[in-house]
Amino acid sequence: MGESGRGKAILVGPMGSGKSTVGRALAQRLGAELVDLDAVIVERAGRAIPEIFAAEGEAGFRDREQAALEEVAARPGPLVVATGGGVVLREANRRTMAANGTVVYLRADVETLLERTAGDANRPLLQVNDPRAKLEALQAEREPLYRQAHLIVDTPGRTAQEVAEEILARLDSADPGAVD
Ligand code: S3P
């Protein structure tokens, strides 16, 4: 895959699309390091995501997210990067991702997202009365941004291994930034 051996696969998609689990499977297959962007944010902030939202608001979290993305994008590859669902909101982030790797959109329907995120207290945006409506609204806003990815891969009904296999097979023919 690729020629430089320094590429990055950057996974984007909504909460519950499987970015972390697919990222783990993909990194293992590639022999690449996995970086979880949310984990970088938490480490730098010294507090958990719900606490960042509570203390600094969503805007504070987005500033931290952008800084973490820029930091990770500057690291040498090969890397697999699992992002948070809202990373695509800022145009600067979309540019950073597209310029530094192959961006892969993990697509899933709202029903699947709802099942995979049920009862998770670590996602402040879903601590609402009607998480289904929230996921639908977020998806309506973000889907056009996710679709700017180099690759789009469907995840419902498939294991992380199967999804990782498809990504691997398609990285070859994707952007020259492909992971090696
Ligand atoms: C968010 C998704 C979360 C996390 C934060 C905000 C979002 O990451 O970054 O809670 O805006 O969709 P996951 O997609 O890994 O749950």
CB of 101 shorter than 6 A to ligand 1: no
The pair phi, psi for residue 176, each rounded to 5°, is -60, -15
Cis peptide before 144 (omega within 30 of 0): no
Q: How far apart are CA 51 and CA 28, in angstroms?
A: 31
Distance 15 CA to ligand 1 centre (A): 6
Q: Are 93 and 66 in contact (CB under 8 A)?
A: yes
Q: What is the pLDDT of residue 6?
A: 58
pLDDT tens sequence across 126-158: 999 999 999 999 999 999 999 999 999 999 999
Strands 79-82 and 102-107, by their bridges, are: unpaired
Distance 123 CA to ligand 1 centre (A): 6
Alpha-helical (H) ranges within 46-147 are 49-73, 91-100, 110-117, 131-146
Distance 84 CA to ligand 1 centre (A): 4
Which among 155, 161, 150 is positioned nearest to 10, based on CA atoms?
150
pLDDT tens sequence across 10-60: 999 999 999 999 999 999 999 999 999 999 999 999 999 999 999 999 999
Q: Are 65 and 41 in contact (CB under 8 A)?
A: yes
pLDDT tens sequence across 80-127: 999 999 999 999 999 999 999 999 999 999 999 999 999 899 999 999
Q: Is the pTM of this model over 0.85?
A: yes
pLDDT band at 172; cut points 50, 70, 90? confident
Does the pLDDT value for residue 162 go beyond 60? yes
Q: How far apart are CA 43 and CA 56, in angstroms?
A: 16
Closest ligand 1 atom to residue 15 Cα is 14
